[in-house]
Structure 1
Amino acid sequence: MGLGEAKRVVTNKKLKGLGEMAFAVGGGPVNWFPGHMAAATRAIRDRLKLADLVVEVRDARIPFSSASHHLQPQLSSKRRVVALNKKDLANPNIMPKWIRYFDSCSTNQDCVAINAHSKTSVNKLLELVEFKLREVISREPTLLVLVVGVPNVGKSALINSIHQIASSRFPVQEKMKRATVGPLPGVTQDIAGYKIAHQPSIYVLDTPGVLVPSIPDIETGLKLALTGSVKDSVVGEERIAQYLLAVLNTRGTPLHWKHLNNRRLEGIRYDSKEKHEYNLKDLRPKRRKLPNDSDVFYVEDLVTEVQCALYLTLLEFTGNVEDESDLEGLIEQQFVALQKAFKIPHKASEARLMVSKKLLTLFRAGKLGPFILDDVPDANTVS
């Protein structure tokens, strides 16, 4: 995919359905529905028939693009809670609009923004689940709640938090296997259940992460890739970073960074006498190494350099970001500026790839700010 195509993705909202994305390096189609996902889909559909309520986990940064699109016909007939996870990474000014949108779509549907790693946040979700069930069903002895979601929306983290809460509420319940959490999309393959309430008994069932068999358009595919629901190696880190820069530039985001009021933009630097060995990979979820003060200052200063690089290149840009070739030239300049900001050797053969990986890591960790990449649809749009 060339930059021109990424640009059209950002500005053209009337894209035709593509059936499948052709992001492979050689231009061939990608198999988006491997065998374990097909089997998981059949298992989910079987369990949907038995479920009294469904919690559909989505990424708060892409509330629409991260939907389990191929399951929507079955989900629309169920009592449902749309849990917008990773709310700490999403723009808090836009989030209420999304919640109102989902709440207005159906009387059987509610929406809540959560952080799956926060027990307080997860407890509020479970309170809503219990309320919705007890509001409708008061005499059933056992109720089943099914958790569904595409890969890497944080569904496994949510299940693990539910497991901890369930264990504290009912410590004598049968020991269940925790959800398997891995760094790559689609690793959760076990189905387990946890009791969260009594009279009536409410059990939460986990399901494997399933990506839609056909992604409706390139824009959806790029958003899923940018937020980690599609493996970087499939789409290509440089292409994803290119798309990210196109989004930032067309929104004018770097120009707003000038107005941030914190120590990073006040010129404060942490001068370490020793060569810093902190790895940006440690910013990823489930990191084992906790940062010390030196690490925090190092990351903040690095973010400052990145923000300044993108701010200055956009500020000095004399072209039109709506023009395909102009935007392409701007992004090329930004890659050069980012290489300097990241202190990557000028002659490094994989400099662009290294720049892309580091930029994506900062974005996914929320270091470039909170974002929501989807636009709130009209009220009559199917959710």
Structure 2
Amino acid sequence: MAATAILARQIGALATKGGGGWYGPHMAAASRAIAERLPLVDLVLEIRDARIPLSSEYEQLRNYPSSSRRIIVMNKMDLANRSQIKEWKRYFEQQNCISYGVNSHNKENIKELLNFLLARVRELKRTNDFNYTAVIMLIGIPNVGKSALANSLHQIGSTNFIVHDVRRTLFETISSFDGNVQVGEDLSRLIEAELTALREAFQVPVELGEEAQNKVAAKLLNLYRTGRLGHYTLDSLPWHT
């Protein structure tokens, strides 16, 4: 077992260094920049390879105090042994480190990570009493999947924020409507007001003119079709007389 562990660590070291020579002047400059910015961020996500969670450690964070502000994210967990990931989570918990396993190519997994991060941010805001936008630093050595994870977080996160804005806009527009939807003229007025308000939520340029409404309508229909607006049944039960 000891020999296997040593061999695994050596393979991990080779995999993370990519054959050596990766720590050049640009990496030294990046390390200095990271050191300067670390005190300014609210959360630090240290990305590691779930197959080599020890060998892929970012050494600059080795002496970083374990706290609720640091999260070890074990990426590529779909390529690792799941039972071993559980063992590593227990290990990090014993070291007073928060850890999380993720597959950066799985949308549902990314959504779960986003919800986890939002919960951490809310907890930080509650305990530290701040109301500004939280700053999160994503950090890690080469080849652990930082770019893939960052892109997935951005893509899924942006969509979630847009859906939230769309829901809020629809609610506010309908709540402030003083007409009668049973009247054709009033219903048309409500639809016009909703499309106009949603243009900003969907970030559709005003310069498009009438085409802007078509784009807004298409985006709204897409959200409904894919179920991201919520669970709605549009047809009413027919009343039998």
**TM-score in terms of structure 1 length:** 0.36
Distance in 1 of aligned mates of 2:93 and 2:58? 18
Q: Match of 1:146?
A: 137
Q: Secondary structure at the residue paired with 1:117?
A: coil
Q: Match of 2:214?
A: none
Indicate whether 1:103 and 2:93 are aligned. Answer: yes
Distance in 1 of aligned mates of 2:139 and 2:6? 30
Q: Match of 2:111?
A: 123
Match of 1:81 among 50, 71, 95: 71
Q: How many residues are aligned here?
A: 151
Indicate whether 1:163 and 2:151 are aligned. Answer: no
Could you say if the C-alpha distance between residues 11 and 83 of structure 1 is closer, same or farther in structure 2, counting changes exceeding 3 Å? closer
Q: Match of 1:137?
A: 125
Indicate whether 1:94 and 2:84 are aligned. Answer: yes
Q: Secondary structure at the residue paired with 1:163?
A: helix
Match of 1:36 among 26, 29, 33: 26
Distance in 2 of aligned mates of 1:122 and 1:11? 30
Q: Match of 1:56?
A: 46
Distance in 2 of aligned mates of 1:122 and 1:104? 25
Could you say if the C-alpha distance between residues 96 and 63 of structure 1 is closer, same or farther in structure 2, counting changes exceeding 3 Å? same
Q: Is the contact between residue 89 and residue 100 of structure 2 (CA under 8 Å) also seen in structure 1?
A: yes
Distance in 2 of aligned mates of 1:78 and 1:46? 20
Distance in 2 of aligned mates of 1:31 and 1:111? 29
Which one-letter code corresponds to 2:114 in the other structure? L
Structure 1 gaps, min length 5: 1-7, 22-29, 173-383
Q: CA deviation at 1:41?
A: 0.7
Which one-letter code corresponds to 2:61 in the other structure? L
Which one-letter code corresponds to 2:123 in the other structure? E
Q: CA deviation at 1:159?
A: 0.3
Structure 2 gaps, min length 5: 15-19, 164-241
Deviations 1:51-95 (A, max 9, x none): 111111110100110010122223646611111111111011221
Task: For CA contacts below 8 A with separation 6 or more, give which structure has more relative contact order.
Answer: 1
Which one-letter code corresponds to 1:80 in the other structure? R
Q: Is the contact between residue 57 and residue 154 of structure 1 (CA under 8 Å) also seen in structure 2?
A: yes
Could you say if the C-alpha distance between residues 43 and 91 of structure 1 is closer, same or farther in structure 2, counting changes exceeding 3 Å? same
Q: Match of 1:114?
A: 102
Q: Within 5 Å, give how 1:300-319 maps onto structure 2.
A: none
Q: Is the contact between residue 83 and residue 114 of structure 1 (CA under 8 Å) also seen in structure 2?
A: yes
Q: Secondary structure at the residue paired with 2:156?
A: helix
Q: Match of 1:72?
A: 62
Which one-letter code corresponds to 1:131 in the other structure? A
Q: CA deviation at 1:110?
A: 1.6
Q: Secondary structure at the residue paired with 1:142?
A: coil
Q: Is the contact between residue 87 and residue 115 of structure 1 (CA under 8 Å) also seen in structure 2?
A: yes
Which one-letter code corresponds to 2:120 in the other structure? K
Q: Which runs of 4+ in 1 moved over 4 A?
A: 8-13
Deviations 1:278-321 (A, max 9, x none): xxxxxxxxxxxxxxxxxxxxxxxxxxxxxxxxxxxxxxxxxxxx
Distance in 1 of aligned mates of 2:161 and 2:115? 16
Which one-letter code corresponds to 1:52 in the other structure? D
Distance in 2 of aligned mates of 1:11 and 1:105? 20
